[in-house]
């Protein structure tokens, strides 16, 4: 992958967001799984059940075609078909954002973003590590981001996801501030996992339409207290209703929120037990999926290392948490 410097373009004046804009991209936004059949084709019936499951659990929006969706293992055609299917099936019940921004060249990235934008998503999400290679500067990444922004036609709004694959590039303060001031950005999926950085970012985006959704359960409650807008992480594929309760009730039930946060923090370590195999295994158990098959990783080690038992115990604890907060 080769990135070359591009000239700086527009510098935007700050735009103040309305209350409606601030509410629209807040809350719990699961990073969606993609169900596959045993032949590795997308399982559309299981995908319908998954969308219904998310919505029945009270989520506020859906992040489609992301790393959890195995977007780096989808063709461009599949990427667009997947996104359009989710937008159409959700049918306005919740807003949908999507990425599919996996290309290496500028021209390919522009083509991908245009195609995703035409599916009817609420915002098109850029992948931060597609803005520059690991050895290139934050300044180059910002230049690339500005050019991509200019290449996506208004009124389509945009977002950025600090995806850890194939490497993690955190946004610079200058990039966060530019996105906030541009008026084009609604959504940043924050994976810095550092509450001091998050607090600084929240100051930079204050009053704009840009929302910070934390992907990290360990810092989520502190993020909400600092003015953050919600959660967009992998654990919403296991017990989204608990995260919904936390973001909606942490102010009026602080003691329960603290206890729940501690439990969610420990439960989130399950992410390291062969995700997304573990999430797909769970959805097969509850009848959402017909298969655990992934394109991104083999499933054999999941059983060999006895991970299903750990996930089952985590979900048993999650069920007890519902009793604690009155969701049962």
pLDDT per position as a tens digit, 184-219: 999 999 999 999 999 999 999 999 999 999 999 999
As a CATH number, domain 19-251 is: 3.20.20.70
pLDDT above 50 (res 5):
no
pLDDT, position 8: 36
Read off the pTM.
0.93
From residue 261, give the alpha-carbon distance in Å to each of 106, 143, 256, 267. Answer: 41, 38, 8, 10
Q: Break the chain into its structural domains and give their ranges.
A: 19-251
From residue 142, give the alpha-carbon distance in Å to each of 68, 119, 130, 172, 309. Answer: 25, 26, 11, 8, 44
CA 173 – CA 159 distance, rounded (Å):
15
User: What average pLDDT does range 62-82 have in this prediction?
Assistant: 98
Cβ-contact 72, 1 below 8 angstroms: no
What tokens appear for 9 in the block? 């373009």
> 254-284: string of b/e by CB count within 10 Å (b at 16+)?
eebbeebbebbbebbebbebbbbbbbbbbbb
Helix (H, G, I), strand (E, B) or coil at 27: strand
What Rg value do the Cα atoms of the chain yield, rounded? 19
Query: How far is residue 270 CA from its own chain's centroid?
Result: 17
């Amino acid at each position: 992958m080769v990135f070359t410097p591009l000239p700086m373009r527009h510098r935007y004046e700050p735009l103040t967001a309305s209350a409606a804009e601030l509410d629209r991209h807040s809350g719990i936004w699961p990073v969606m799984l993609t169900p596959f059949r045993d032949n590795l084709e997308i399982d559309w019936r299981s995908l319908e059940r998954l969308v219904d499951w998310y919505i029945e659990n009270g989520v506020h929006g859906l992040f489609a075609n992301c790393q959890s969706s195995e977007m780096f293992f989808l063709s461009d055609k599949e990427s667009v078909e997947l996104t359009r299917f989710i937008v159409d099936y959700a049918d306005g019940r919740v807003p949908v954002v999507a990425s599919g921004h996996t290309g290496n060249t500028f021209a390919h990235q522009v083509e991908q973003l245009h195609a995703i934008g035409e599916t009817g998503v609420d915002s098109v999400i850029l992948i931060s590590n597609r803005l520059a290679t690991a050895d290139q500067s934050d300044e180059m990444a910002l230049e690339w981001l500005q050019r991509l922004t200019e290449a996506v036609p208004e009124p389509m709004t945009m977002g950025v996801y600090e995806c850890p694959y194939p490497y993690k590039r955190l946004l610079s303060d200058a990039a966060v501030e530019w996105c906030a001031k541009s008026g084009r950005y609604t959504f940043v999926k924050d994976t810095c996992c550092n509450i001091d950085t998050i607090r600084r970012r929240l100051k930079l985006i204050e009053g704009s339409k840009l929302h910070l959704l934390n992907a990290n359960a360990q810092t989520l409650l502190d993020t909400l207290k600092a003015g953050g807008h919600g959660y967009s992480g992998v654990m919403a594929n296991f017990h989204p209703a608990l995260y919904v309760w936390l973001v909606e009730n942490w102010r009026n039930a602080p003691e329960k929120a603290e206890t729940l946060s501690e439990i969610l923090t420990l439960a989130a370590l399950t992410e390291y037990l062969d995700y997304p195999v573990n999430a797909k295994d769970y959805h097969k158990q509850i009848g959402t999926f017909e298969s655990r098959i992934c394109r991104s990783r083999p499933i054999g080690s999941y059983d060999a290392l006895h991970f299903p038992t750990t996930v089952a115990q985590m979900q048993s604890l999650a069920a007890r948490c519902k009793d604690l907060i009155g969701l049962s």
